[in-house]
Amino acid sequence: MAGAFVADYGVYIPRGRVSGDILKSLYGKSPAGVKGIAMAEMDEDSLTMAYEAAKGIVERNRVGGVILACNSLPFTHKKGSSLLGKMLRLDSSLPCWDLAGGPLAAAEALSLAVNLVEGGSSEGILVVCAEHPRYRPGEEVEMAWGAGAAAFMVAPRGFARVEDIVADYEIESYDLWSLRGEEVLRYRPEMLDDNFDRALSRLLTTRGGTENLGGYRYVPLQLNRFRWTRVLARRGIKNDQWEPVNSLSAVGNLGSATFAVNLAMAFEQAAEGDRILAVGYGHGNTVSVSLSLTADPPPCGVREKMAAAMPVDLATYWKTIFQRRFGA
């Protein structure tokens, strides 16, 4: 069949987990609905996690290009995708693209790969998303930041056919900005919830209304804030469509990587004949990808990686945060 398919996938989640009790002991509260935060070790960053998520895919497939979606590279003014290609021992002549610009980066990277394959790329495009955010201790949104990565091979053949991709950039959301006299950007929680509801409403209208959601076995959503789950039922998204493919409660807010990890969770639990609607969200905008499974996806061990948790004690957490923020 002509078109673009997902042919392979992989996930990496750091083993370290910071419990809600640890956060509450420091800040007097913990992120709502989040049981644990995946915390990268001191020798891990977005590129090392991207490598771990992608290395198995590279061993099994021919790669015709690399797209890296990341808002938290360990350096500035340097091309992360080409460096990742070197780490993976790929041909140095392969085209490489970096995507950032906020939480939609992973969904947009998948969209770009689909366009390249549908445009005639005979070899697969490797899509990798990894996030290793810089922590600002104490803010409600920042406390939920986790770390992780996922990767996909988009190719002319595979187990999941891409039916369509719908993007909506209508809503302008200024939920992350700085006010006069502030030195850093910070989230404005008062803007986050309403904008997600508005964006989801527009998405469903574009896709023909809630009556069309019943055909999807799973709806992995980019839920970076647990309060957003309150609007799902009234928008026609059932608990058994999103809860089994939601990483937020187990590993925290992975930024743009939330889209990628949740989609990988959906693949691991889905079977031939199922349909998946993967929804990326960021600052009022959405990119949704409809997929139809033409074969059973191979196992990836996503749930095992979620469960392979190593508790992080208070001293280790605070030392790690302090060093990452101040370099001391």
Per-residue pLDDT of the chain (328 residues), as tens digits, is 469 999 999 999 999 999 888 888 877 777 778 888 999 888 899 999 999 999 999 999 999 999 999 999 998 889 999 999 999 999 999 999 999 988 999 999 999 999 999 998 778 999 999 998 765 655 555 567 899 999 999 999 999 999 999 999 998 876 666 777 776 666 666 667 788 899 999 999 999 888 789 899 999 999 988 888 989 998 999 999 999 999 999 999 999 999 999 999 999 999 999 999 999 999 889 999 999 999 999 999 998 998 888 998 888 887 777 666 655 4
Q: How far apart are the first and last CA of the chain?
A: 55
Antiparallel, parallel or unpaired: β 285-293 and 275-282: antiparallel
**CATH architecture of the domain with range 162-293:** 3-Layer(aba) Sandwich (3.40)
- Give, in degrees to the nearest 5, the angle at Cα 24 between 22 and 29: 150
Alpha-carbon dihedral sign for residues 96, 76, 133, 167: negative
Whole-angstrom Cα distance, residue 19 to residue 251?
10
- Give, in degrees to the nearest 5, the angle at Cα 218 between 279 and 273: 120
Which amino acid type is present at position 295? A
Whole-angstrom Cα distance, residue 256 to residue 107?
8
For the chain, the farthest-separated pair of C-alpha atoms sits apart, in whole angstroms, at: 57
- Give, in degrees to the nearest 5, the angle at Cα 104 between 290 and 29: 115
* CB contact burial 196-229 (16+ within 10 A = b; e otherwise): beebbebbbeebeeeeebeebbbbbbbbbbbebb
- Can you read off the two tokens belonging to residue 222? 């980019």
What fold does the segment set 5-158+299-326 form as a domain? Peroxisomal Thiolase; Chain A, domain 1 (3.40.47)
Q: Residue 16's pLDDT is what?
A: 92
Whole-angstrom Cα distance, residue 82 to residue 94?
9
What are the boundaries of each domain within the chain?
Answer: 5-158+299-326, 162-293
Where on the phi/psi map is residue 317: left (φ > 0), alpha (ψ -120 to 50), or beta? alpha
pTM for the predicted model, two decimal places: 0.93
Please name the residues in contact with 237: beta carbons below 8 A apart, sequence gap of 6 or more.
Answer: 210, 213, 219, 221
Q: Residue 187's pLDDT is what?
A: 65
5-158+299-326 and 162-293 in the same fold = yes
